[in-house]
Structure 1
Amino acid sequence: MSLKVLNTEKAPGAIGPYSQGIQAGNLIFTSGQLPLNPTTGELTSDIRSATKQSLENVKNILESAGSSMDKIVKTLIFLKDMNDFAEMNEVYGSYFPTNPPARSAVQVARLPKDAIIEIEAIALV
């Protein structure tokens, strides 16, 4: 099976030794996406806007490989504060109005750049 590194200017560049995403056969694995605006580098700190930005980054990585949000089979969400779950969930739900993917959501002690959320996904091509 061949591996293909995914890289798009429509998502933030990696801030370490990793790729935005990897395509392995018919699967795509995105790295965790912080709520960073890929154009300005600005970190969003409002949970609703942050959730949207992280999901837009995931979406853009998937689209760079010819995939889409409706092909996501699993997401993992890291939250700085589980009290943000309801607001995050509302925004998240708007991206998956039917047949949402499997998902895990956990509270973590700290995220890179002190972000309030990070989202990663596994999708089909």
Structure 2
Amino acid sequence: MPQKEIITHPQIAQGSNPLSQATRFGNLVYVQGCTGRHPTTGVNGSDIREQTRFALERIKMILEEAGSSLDNVLSNTCYVTTRDDLPGFNETYAEFFPKDYPARTTIIVQFGQPDNLVEITTTACIPS
């Protein structure tokens, strides 16, 4: 019977919040909400394109640590702070998912930290 496994990438900057980078159960991987902080330095990107790139690079690193990849993403839930940022967000997002797009929900939100422009949470599978 499968058991929950905690996934942690050793090079990704750790925050102080009580959460895991990802959890794996069977062949599914659930990745935390990744914000627009640089994967290793933890510094926020300067605009929506850079923050989207940083969030997706973090997701890519975590998935690879779990034995998966962006090619195996089933679903993304994306949070952005303003509708005006959607064109830049979509442009960068498409660089990481150029075809066979995962299911996606995009929601306009207000974060508690004003320098956060994007957060993405991901569900992926690990192929047999």
- TM-score, normalised to structure 1's length? 0.93
Per the TM alignment, residue 122 of structure 1 is displaced from its structure 2 partner at its CA by 0.3
1:48 maps to which residue?
49
Mapped contact 2:39–2:55 kept (Cα < 8 A): no
2:23 maps to which residue?
22
Q: Give, in whole Å, the separation in 2 of the partners of 1:113 and 1:11.
A: 22
Q: Give, in whole Å, the separation in 2 of the partners of 1:114 and 1:15.
A: 18
- TM-score, normalised to structure 2's length? 0.91
* Residue ranges of structure 1 left out of the alignment (5+ in a row): none
Q: Give, in whole Å, the separation in 1 of the partners of 2:23 and 2:113.
A: 20
Mapped contact 2:32–2:122 kept (Cα < 8 A): yes
- Give the match's secondary structure for 1:9: coil
Mapped contact 1:12–1:36 kept (Cα < 8 A): no
Per the TM alignment, residue 83 of structure 1 is displaced from its structure 2 partner at its CA by 1.1
Mapped contact 2:13–2:41 kept (Cα < 8 A): no
- Identify if the C-alpha distance between structure 1 residues 25 and 113 changes in structure 2 by more than 3 Å, giving closer, same or farther: farther
2:125 maps to which residue?
124
1:96 maps to which residue?
97
Aligned residues: CA RMSD: 1.4
Mapped contact 2:31–2:59 kept (Cα < 8 A): yes
Mapped contact 1:111–1:117 kept (Cα < 8 A): no
- Identify if the C-alpha distance between structure 1 residues 113 and 28 changes in structure 2 by more than 3 Å, giving closer, same or farther: farther
2:69 maps to which residue?
68
Per the TM alignment, residue 39 of structure 1 is displaced from its structure 2 partner at its CA by 2.5
The number of residue pairs the alignment matches comes to 125
Of 102-111 and 53-62, the range deviating more from structure 2: 102-111
Deviations 1:40-97 (A, max 9, x none): 2211131111100000000000000110000000001010112101110011011111
State, as a whole percentage, how many aligned pairs show the same letter.
33
Structure 1 residue identity aligned to 2:89: M
Q: Give, in whole Å, the separation in 1 of the partners of 2:113 and 2:58.
A: 16
- Give the match's secondary structure for 1:67: coil
- Give the match's secondary structure for 1:122: strand
